[in-house]
Amino acid sequence: MKTPYYLIDESRLLENLKKIAYVREHSGAKMLLALKCFSTWSVFPLIRKYMDGTTSSSLYEARLGYEEFGKETHAYCVGYSEDDIKQIKKYSDKIIFNSLSQYLRYYPKVKDMKIGIRVNPGFSSSCYDLADPSREYSRLGTSEDQDSAVLSRLDNISGVMFHYNCDNDDFGEFCEQLDELSIVFSEILNKVSWVSLGGGVLFTKKGYPYQSLTVKLRQFAKEHDVQVYLEPGEAVITGAGELVTSVVDLFCNRKSIAIVDASAEAHMLDLIIYRYGASIGDSGPYRYQIAGRSCLAGDIFGEGSFKEPLQIGDEVRIKNAAGYTMVKRTWFNGLQAPSIVVKKLNGSLKVIREFNYGHYKNNL
């Protein structure tokens, strides 16, 4: 298989999906795939067996969910345009507005749909300010102090969305914040028929007490008589994807450095944005900095240890490379884009998509 390529392993994907199915069955919560994280629709046939639909952040994502996933299609966007509203009605079961002003502007055009609004609870769980939905001056959702009193009197809203988690693997913290939601927003929660708790809860992570999560979600739903939705993205595909690369150069500058035929900047952008290192290699004695081949000085995947010294042409696998990668891939430096390959449940490899110079040229 010619590198670089993203490899999606269906057997690892299935491990996550079985946990999702357990939570879904025992809690009564519905599960929507967050397309902003992962929208590689070649594996939707497997995912849709265990989930209830998709949630989007734009018109194109809503349309993709409708056309390729089916089931429920929730449409959300920070800011809809007139053209968005005209088209999005074709593809969505529910439309969620980010603000009261957008709701008031477009309600006459969508009044025959199930309508929700995003509420910013004023607290969050996020390790990164960049991704913190409750950061200072946040534009994400209507705020409690300004709009909750008005929101509680709107009869045409059937649901609300609280998306306040980011990479949250702390079950105790999740419970504390859910209890706070119940208290602070009880008037709204008791008025609506459905509530989305968003994504960012890593309940498929090894060691997470997902069985206990079902109890908490079921209690919350019963207390407020609502249908609960979760919008997992990373939780669906964690550990199920790798970026497979090959070493093209080796040298030393106070540490051993291996250049591979991919780029963190172009192919795993979140490593650069959030400044964390990828999981690479094994527990061997030979340690290398694994770097990309773009001209960006900080184009570095991270460091990894290997059982044997690396050689030119050796394969290096960058782990956890499914979420927020293919949806953010760029043509920076005109570098060869990784192919997309799926390892099927029977072990066979299927090349889903390859990219060439024509794709680069036509993209611009």
Taking the CA atoms of 31, 38, 79 and 185 in sequence, report the sign of the dihedral they define: positive
- Tell me the per-residue pLDDT of 253-309, one tens digit each, with 9 for 90 and over: 999 999 999 999 999 999 999 999 999 988 899 999 999 999 999 999 999 999 999
Q: Residues in the chain, how many?
A: 364
Say whether pTM exceeds 0.75: yes
First and final C-alpha spacing in the chain: 28
Render 148-180 in DSSP notation, one character per residue: HHHHTT-TT--EEE---BSSB--HHHHHHHHHH
- Confidence band (pLDDT; 50, 70, 90) for 359? very high
pLDDT of residue 130: 87
CATH annotation of 241-321+329-363 = 2.40.37.10
Name residue 32's amino acid.
Answer: L
Secondary structure of residue 281 in the 3-state scheme: strand
- CATH class in words for 11-237: alpha beta
**pLDDT, tens digit, 9 for 90 and up, residues 195-218:** 999 999 999 999 999 999 999 999
How much is the average pLDDT of 65-93? Answer: 96
What's the whole-number average pLDDT of the chain?
Answer: 94
Domain locations in the chain?
A: 11-237, 241-321+329-363
Cβ burial of 178 (10 Å; 0-12, 13-18, 19+) is middle
H-helix or E-strand spanning residue 351: strand 349-353
pLDDT computed for residue 247 by the predictor: 98
pLDDT in tens, 107-155: 999 999 999 999 999 888 888 888 888 888 889 888 866 556 666 667 7
- For the stretch 7-21, pLDDT in tens is 999 999 999 999 999
